[in-house]
Structure 1
Amino acid sequence: MFKKNVDAKALQRLSGADKKKLRRTAKQRFPQASDDDLDAILPPKVEITVAKYPSRTLVYGIEGELPMLFDIDGRGHELFPTVYALWKVPYLLPAFTLKGGEVSHFILGGADLMFPGISVPPEGLPSFQAGQPWSVKVPGNPAPIAVGTTTMSNTEALKAGLRGKALRIAHYYKDLLWASADGRYVPNEGFYDDMVIEDPNFASASQHIDSSEDPSEGKQDKAAVDVSECLTEDRAINSETIENVTAGVSELNLPQEKTTEEQTEEKEHQHLSTEEIDSLLDICLLQALHTNIKDKDLPMPGSILWSNHILPCRPPGVTLDIKKSSHKKLSKWLQSKSSSGLISVKEDKHKKEVMLISISRKHPDYTTFKHHKRVQEPVEQHDNIVADGSSTKQLEVDEIYKPSSHVNPIFLAVDADTGKYYSASEASDVVFRYVEKENLVKQTDKAKVILDATLCDALYKGAVKKGSAYPSEIHKKDLGSTFINRMQIHHRVARGNEVAIRKGAIRTVQIMTERRQGNKKMTRVSGLECFLLDADSLASELQKKFACSTTTAELPGKKGQHEVLIQGGVIENLAKHLVEHHGVPKRYIEVYDKTKK
C-alpha cells in the first residue's frame, strides 16, 4: 500500500464534527477498543489532521506528531491503525504471531503474510472471517509489525490445508507511511532495519506469546509498550541473525507438569540479588565465548550477542534481566567487560549499537573458566518409557547438507569430501577454510571477503539475473548462510541403530481433530514415518493409553504413508505423548482443531 513514494495532495485539520465521526468509525471498526484506547490514538484535546493521497487514501494523525489511522477507501470501510497506533495500544487488533523473527524479514520486504509463516497454537487457529483487520507480531515481542486484511475465514484456511495467503498486508514497519513520521521511532530493542526479533526486556517478563491474542486478555498485559515512553533509534541487523534466530522460536508450547521441587527452584531463581545477577551475566558471557562464538563471527552486534548467545547459556528456569543488574543496560555491561580487557567493543555511530569486535582468549578470566557442555531437552537425552512399559530409544533429528555441483570446487580445493553430509557449522567451516587458504579477506576491511572466480561461481552462478553484474565481495556474516543455501538440504532421523536420511527439509507431524457424525470427535495424526514411528504400533499403543478405538489408513496419493485415527478429541494429550514418550521435538508438531467455531 505504502511501498511507493507518493506525496499527499492536501493536509488539513479535522473539524470537531469530523473528529467525532472518525472516533465513531474507529469504534465500529475496532469494537474491542475501550474509550481509553481511542483516547490514546485520538486524543480529545489535540488537533487531528488528515492527509489526502491518491486513490482516495486518507491518513489521520496527531498534528505535528505521528500518523495514527489510515483509510484505504476514504469511506471508513477499510480503516486501519498504523504501527505507531498499535505501539500505543498493542491489542487494538487481534494478532497472528509469526513462527519466528526470521519470517518478519519478508513482511518488511513488502510480502503478504502466508499461512505457513504463522505459528499455530496448541488449541488450533482462532476464529476469524475474511475481510477482518488483523495485526502481525513476532514471538516474544509485544509490538505489532504490520496490519492487513484476512483473505479467508479460519474454516476455509483449514480446508485449504493452511496454505496460501493469510493476510493481505496494508501497512508495515519500514514502509513509507512509517517513514513519513519525524524521527522514525521504534518501540523496543527487537526492531532492526530488515527484521524484528524478540524484545530482550519483554522476554524476561514473559517467555511465551500466543500466535493469536485475545484482545480482551491482552489489555491486562502490563508489558504492553507505548512508543511515547520507550523510543529507541532503529538499527541494522545482519543476515547471521536470520540464520541463528530460527532455532527454537517456532516450537509448539504444550502444557507440562512441574514437580514441587522444580517450582521451588524457579521461585528461588526469580529472587536473585543484584550481585548474583552480575555474577550470572559474567558466567553466561564466558560460557558463550567458549562454546558459541568464533572469531570469524566477529564483529557482532550486542543485541545478537545477547539474544542468540548469552540467553541460551543461562541455567534452566532462570530469568536473566539486564535491567536488574548493576549495569542496567546491555551497552554499559559490555563496556565494563571491555574495560577489564576480556573483550573489545565499539559503538557503531550509524546503528547506535555496541558491537563486539574481538575476544581476548588469553585473558585470565577466559583461560581459568571451566565451561560446561550444553544440555539439551530431557526428552532428547534419555530413553523414554511408553505406556506398555517398553522403552523407546533416544530420537535424534538433524538438518544436514550435501555438496551440490555449485559448491563442489570449494570442497575439492580444501580436500573435503563431496560425497558426505555436513551440518550447517561444518559446511560453513569449509568455505572459511577456502577463504583462509586463498587469502581472500579484504585487507582494508576485515569484515569482508573478496570473491575470486571459484568462490563467486559457487555462490552466485545461475542465481544472478541475466544482464546483472556479479558481486566482487561479500560480508563475512553473509558468507556462511549464502554458501549453505547453495547446497542440497537433507534431514537425518536416528533412533538407536535405525537411521534414515531423506532429501529435503523434515516434514511435521500433523494432528487434527474434527467432528464426525453429528457431535462425535475424531483425531487424526499423520507424518509419523518421518520420525521412524510405525502407524500400526502407535495405534495399538494409543488404544490402551486413551481407552478408545483406533485404526490406521493409507493416505490418499501417498504410497507408504499412513495416518492413525483415534476416537475422541485427544489433540493436546496426543501431542504431549509424542513429545514425552517418543521424543518428537515440539517444533515439528502442528495441531489443528477443526471443532472450534
Structure 2
Amino acid sequence: MFRKTIKIKTNSQIKGSDRKIIKERLLKSFPNLTEANIDDLLPKKETVNAIKLITHTNETVHVYTIQKCPIAFEVHGKIFPTVYLLWKFPNMLPFFTTHSQVVSFLTSGADLMLPGVITPPGNKYGNLPEEAVAYVNVTDNQAAIAVGVTAQSSSDMLASGGRGKCLTVYHFFGDKLCTVEGTHNVQLANLGPPDWLKFTNEDFPELGSTKAIQEPVEPDQNDHNLQEDSQESSPQPCTTEEMDQLVTYCFFVAIKYSKTLNLPILTSNFFKLQMIPTCPDGKTLDIKKTSYKKLKPFLDAMYKEGLITIKEAKKGVESITAINRDHPKFAEFYIEPALRPKKEQDEATISTSITESFIITPTVLPLFENTQLNKGDTVQMPEIRKQVVEYVKKNDCQSEDNKRLVKPKKALVKICKTENYITWEELMEKVCEAMKSCYKVTSANTELVNKGKVSPITITVSQRSGNKKVTLVDNLELFGVQIADFAKECQHGVAASTSISRPLGKKCDQVLIQGNQVLFVHNLLTVKYKIPAKYIRGLEYAPKKK
C-alpha cells in the first residue's frame, strides 16, 4: 500500500477531544492493550498529528503520528498499528513468523505466502478469522517487519495444507509510511526470537548457547603430565545439568547435520553411530550421568516434544522412523559449518532438481515475438509471466480502473477464448493451458528433458512365494538416481538383500528389496536425494501403525 509514492493532503494537530476518541478506538481495536499502555503511548504533553494522504492506488488513508513517528493508520474504517507501535507492544496483535530470506520479497510488494510461514507446535495458525489484523516477524527477531490482514481464516490455512496466501501486506518497515513526515532514521528493533523459538535452559542450561560447547579448551602444551591423564584433567561435563546440555546438543547435531543418518534406524544405533561421534573434542558423552539415566527416557522426551517419531518394531526394540524438520527448534538450531560432522570419505552432494516447463505452441507464439524463442522451444513460468506482462502493456490490455483486470486483445482473445475482462491469475492459467507441458530433471551427472507430465517414482509392495513381501521401486533413472548405488544403500540401510532387473514392458530398471521397506525408501529419496515428495508415489503401502 505504501511501497510507492504517496501524496499528503492535510497534516494537522488533533484536539483534546479527538485525542480521547483515538484512545478509545485503540482500546477497542486492540483488546490486548491496556489504558496504561495507551497513556504511555500518548502522553499528555506530546502532540499528536493527523495526516490525510493518498496512496498511488488513489486510496485515502489517515495516519496518526507522535513526534513525526507514525504509530497507526486507518484504512476503510479499520485501524492498523505501524511497525513502530508493534515494537513497543509486540503482544498487541497475533503474528506470523517467517525466514529472514523472505523479507526481501515482502519489501518488494509481495504478500506473505503460507509456504514461507514457520509455525509453532500444536495450534499452527492460531484461531483467526479472515481479514484479521496481524503482523510478520522473523525467526531471530520478534520485532514486526510488516502489517496486514489474513487472506483466509486459520482453519482454511490448515485445510490448505500449507499452500496459498497467508497475509495481505499493507505496510512494511522501510516503506513510504515510515517517512511520512520526512526522514525518520530508525533502525529495526531487536526483540530477540519469539518465545516458542528460544532454546531454553532446559535445552542448554548452563552455557545458554551452543558456542561454548563448540569450542573445546586447549590443553597446556607445557604440561605433558597433565596430557597423559586427560580423563581427569581435561574439562569434562561433570554436573547433571551440563550432561543434559551435552546430550541435547549431540542429539540436534545428529538429526540436523549428520551425513550418514538413514531412517529408520534403531535407537541404540542412533546413539552409538550418530550422537557419540558428534560430541565436541575434550568432552565425553555419558547418558548415565544425565537426569534421564538411560537413552529411552531421553528419546521419549524428544518424541513428546514432536522432534522425532519412534516406532516399536517388536517388544523392547525401537527405531526412529522420522524427524520433524518443520519443528521450530530444528529450524533454529545452528552450528558453524567447520564444526559439523563429516564423512570419513568425501562424498559428492546428491541433489536432484525437477524443473517443470512449457513448450511454445503456435497459439502463444505471438506473445514471444520480441524474443529469440520459436515454436517448440521450452520456457519456464517466470519467462512466460514476463512476456505476458509485456504483451498486455504493449497492447494496452490492462484496465485503468482496476489494475487486477485484463481485457484480452489480439492474440490473447484466441488464447483466452473471450473478450471480457479476466483477472491476471485467469490469464496466466489460459496461457499455460494453451502450451504443452514438459519437465527437466537435473542431478549430479544427468540432465534429462521429457515431454508431458513428470513420471513419478513408484514404490509398490508385492507378495512372493512363502508369503514373503518385497518392495519394488520404479523410474529411479528418470530422476538421475544411480541404480547400483541406490540398491547398495537400501541393502545396508535395512539389512536386506536387493536385486536389479528390467521388467517386461518397462523402460527403466527396477530395484527389488526384501520386506516392506516403503518408509525407508521414501525417506532415502526425499532426505538424501532431495527428490520432492510430490514426485514419489506409494507411501500408502508403508506398514500401518498398530
TM-score, structure 2 normalization: 0.44
TM-score, structure 1 normalization: 0.40
User: Which structure's CA Rg is the greater one?
Assistant: 2
